Structure 1
Amino acid sequence: MTSEFFKGQIAADRLDLAAHYWELVVKDLIDQLNNFGVFGRVTAYTAVVEYQKRGLPHVHLLLWVQDKDNLRLETIDDTISAEIPDKNKDPKLHDLVMSKMIHGPCSALNPSRPCMKNGRCNKSYPNSF
């Protein structure tokens, strides 16, 4: 994809290419789930794309799988995971995730967070249940 950039351009300058590439990745994921049966034979699926405030997309994917009795939680946990990168192994990535992808703690717990304005969180956290 970066071979299509003009000199000095970054992905943020070519959102058309970034969006197209992301769409191809999602289609490939759905294709692999259908053809390789990672979780078993998929009988149906539905996918919804949502865009975050900054315009970044993410997909919610719901699969209907045949033979649900053979589907083990360990299989899902081994395939799908989300974790904060190790601070010792990759400090740069850890700092990016902590500063850009995780909100809080803020309020009186951490008044120096970027979301804090006039002693209050401008994102209205923490929210009551």
Structure 2
Amino acid sequence: MNAILWEKLSGSIEWAAEEFDGVMGVSIKDLTTGNTLSVNGDEQFLAASSIKIPILVELHKKAKAGTLDLDTEVTVHDDVKVGGTGVIKELGDVTLTIQDLATLMITVSDNTATNVLIDIAVMDDVNATMEEL
């Protein structure tokens, strides 16, 4: 990223952090230049749904490697459904593709889809991929 864009991005993020009615944390590293920006980077925050992006990354990594077919169907039974956000919890036993589960995990933050996909992606693999990055 060129210096002008970096300055605009940094300024916008710093402004947003000052104006935000609460506490936010943002850390950015430009992998090309090595430039970094951190706002409250040493603060601890609850992870909440941030795990969903690494799960998605791992699913697509495995699909690209040919070890996972995103069109594979998975039946989600009532006994694995969890509360919180999402729509799967409102359905009976339902059969969805891994791609559909991933879409629900990201678009409506479906917690049941997330839990099912954790088992498919394998949490140790997700963590290893994030460490590689």
TM-score between the two structures when normalised by the length of structure 1:
0.27
Higher relative contact order at CA 8 Å, sep ≥6: structure 1 or structure 2?
2
| Greater percentage in strand | 1
